[in-house]
Homo-oligomer: A and B are copies of this chain.
Amino acid sequence: MYLTSDPIDLSSLVALVHSPSRGGVACFLGTVRNHQGGRDVLRLDYSAYTPMAEAECARIAAEAESRWQCAVALRHRIGRLEIGEAAVAIAVASSHRDEAFVACRYVIEEVKRRVPIWKREVYADGSVEWVGAGGEAGKTVSGEAGKTVSGAGDKTGAELISQRAGESR
C-alpha cells in the first residue's frame, strides 16, 4: 500500500529499503507548507483515485528499481494534513549513492506527474481551493469552509498536466 491516512515515518521507510549490501540511502520528504501563492495555508486535504494511484505508485517504484540498481519505498498521505506534516516520503537504497540520488529524484517527479491525487488547500481567510484547478489565476469561490471550490479555470486538465511535466524538467 503506497497511500496511507496515518502519519508517515521516514525512518521506517529507510529500514524497508536499507540492507548491508545497499549502503547508500537517498530520501525525500515533501511536507505541508504554511503558504502558497502569497496566501497563508491552514491545512490540506488530499484525496485520491485509490486503485489507480496505488497501481501508478507501484509502476513508478518498479521503473526506478529496474532502471537503477536500487530498492524503493514510497508513501503518500491521504486525508487531512496539518502544516509541517509529511505528504509524501521516498527512500531509495543502493550500493552506489549516484543511483540512489537519481532514482529518488525520478520517483518524486513521476509521483507528481502521474499519480491521481488531489490537494485541497484551506486558507487562513476561510477560502478553499483545489490546487491545479485553475491555480492562482483561476476563479476562487470563497465562503463557508469545506463547501466552497475554485473554478476549473480556462485550461483543460490535459493542458495543465503537460505544463506540469514541462516545469518539472
| Interface residues, chain A, with chain B CB atoms under 8 Å away | 9-11, 14, 18-21, 23-35, 83-84, 95, 97, 100-101, 104-105, 108
Contact = CB atoms under 8 A, between A and B. Distances in A.
B20 A34 contact: yes
A15 to B, nearest CB: 10
Contact of A31 (B23, B35, B84): B23
B83 A20 contact: yes
Given A11-B10, A14-B10, A101-B105, A28 B24 contact: yes
A26 B26 contact: yes
- A-B pairs, top 6 by smallest CB distance, nearest first, are A20-B34, A27-B27, A23-B33, A25-B29, A23-B31, A20-B83
B24 A27 contact: no
A29 B14 contact: yes
A101 B104 CA distance: 9
A10 B20 CA distance: 17
Most buried by B among A23, A34, A97: A23
Contact of A27 (B20, B21, B28, B32): B28
A27 B84 CA distance: 17
Contact of A101 (B18, B84, B97, B101): B101
